[in-house]
A and B are shown apart, each in its own frame.
Chain A
Amino acid sequence: MSLKTSTSADGQTVTIEVKGKFDFNFVQDFRSAYSAIEGSIDTIIVDLRETEYMDSSALGMLLNMQKTLSGRVNNIKISNCKPQIKKILQISRFDKKFDID
Chain B
Amino acid sequence: MLKHDGFDVVLANNGLEALDVYKKEKPDLVLLDVVMPYLDGYETAPLLKELAGEVYLPVIFITALEDQDSLTRCLDVGGDDFLSKPFERVILHAKIKAHARIRDLSQKAFEQKKQLDFYRLKTEREHEIVEHIFQRAFEGNYKAPHLLDFHLSPASMFNGDIMLVELGPTGNLYIMMGDFTGHGLAAAVGTLPVSSSFYSMVQKGLSVGDIAIQINDILLKLLPDDMFCAASIIELNNMGKSLSVWTGGTPDMYLIDNQNDQFTTIESQHMALGILEQDEFDAASMNYSVAKQEQLIVFTDGLVEIMDENGEMFGYERLTELLKQPHYQEIPNIIDELNYFSGGVEQDDDISILSLRCDEVNSNLDQNQYSYSKLPHSFSLTVDAEAIRTSDPVLEVIDMVTLMKGAEEHRSTLYLLLSEAYNNALEHGLLELSSSIKDSDDGFIDYYAQRDDLLNKLTSGHITIEVNYVPEQTSLYFTVTDSGAGFNVDAKKSELDNEDAHGRGFILLQEIASSVEYNAIGNQVKVGYQLNVS
Contact = CB atoms under 8 A, between A and B. Distances in A.
Interface of A: 9, 13, 17, 21, 23-24, 27-28, 31, 47, 49-50, 52-57, 59-61, 63-64, 79-85, 87-88, 91-92, 101
B445 A84 contact: no
Contacts of A81: 170
Contact count band on B? 35 or more
B505 A91 contact: no
Given A49-B170, A55-B505, A83-B170, A88 B445 contact: no
30 contacts: A9-B284, A13-B287, A21-B395, A28-B445, A31-B445, A49-B205, A49-B207, A50-B205, A53-B395, A53-B411, A53-B416, A55-B420, A55-B423, A56-B420, A56-B504, A56-B508, A57-B448, A60-B444, A60-B501, A79-B237, A80-B170, A81-B170, A82-B412, A83-B170, A87-B512, A88-B413, A88-B508, A91-B508, A101-B239, A101-B241
Nearest to B418: A55
Given A56-B505, A101-B242, A24 B448 contact: yes
Contacts of B284: 9
Give the top 6 A-B pairs by smallest Cβ distance, nearest first.
Answer: A56-B505, A84-B412, A55-B419, A53-B415, A56-B504, A49-B205
Nearest to A9: B284
Q: Which of A9, A84, A87, A101 has the most C-beta atoms of chain B within 10 angstroms of its own C-beta?
A: A84
A52 B207 contact: no
Nearest to A84: B412
Contacts of B205: 49-50, 80, 82
A100 to B, nearest CB: 10
Nearest to B235: A80
B413 to A, nearest CB: 5
Interface string B428-449: 0000000000100000110010
A81 B207 CA distance: 13
Interface of B: 168-172, 204-207, 237, 239, 241-242, 284, 287, 395, 410-413, 415-416, 419-420, 423, 438, 444-445, 448, 451, 501-502, 504-505, 507-508, 511-512
Q: Which of B237, B284, B287, B415 has the most C-beta atoms of chain A within 10 angstroms of its own C-beta?
A: B415
A52 B412 contact: yes
A87 B420 contact: no
B459 to A, nearest CB: 22
A85 B411 CA distance: 10
B207 A60 contact: no
Q: Which of B416, B445, B501, B502 has the most C-beta atoms of chain A within 10 angstroms of its own C-beta?
A: B416
A83 to B, nearest CB: 7
A88 B416 contact: yes
Contacts of A23: 419
Contacts of B511: 91
A92 B416 CA distance: 13
Given A54-B412, A80-B205, A88-B412, 11 more contacts: A13-B287, A24-B448, A27-B444, A49-B207, A53-B411, A56-B420, A57-B423, A59-B504, A64-B444, A85-B412, A101-B241
Nearest to B410: A84
A29 to B, nearest CB: 12
Contact of B415 (A9, A24, A55): A55
A5 B509 CA distance: 31
A24 B451 contact: yes
Contact of B445 (A17, A27, A59, A91): A27
Contacts of B504: 56, 59-60, 92
Contact of A84 (B237, B413, B423): B413
A53 B411 CA distance: 8
Contacts of A27: 444-445, 448
Q: Which of A47, A81, A101 has the most C-beta atoms of chain B within 10 angstroms of its own C-beta?
A: A101
Given A54-B416, A56-B504, A84-B413, A91 B512 contact: yes
A55 B416 CA distance: 5
Contacts of A92: 504, 507-508
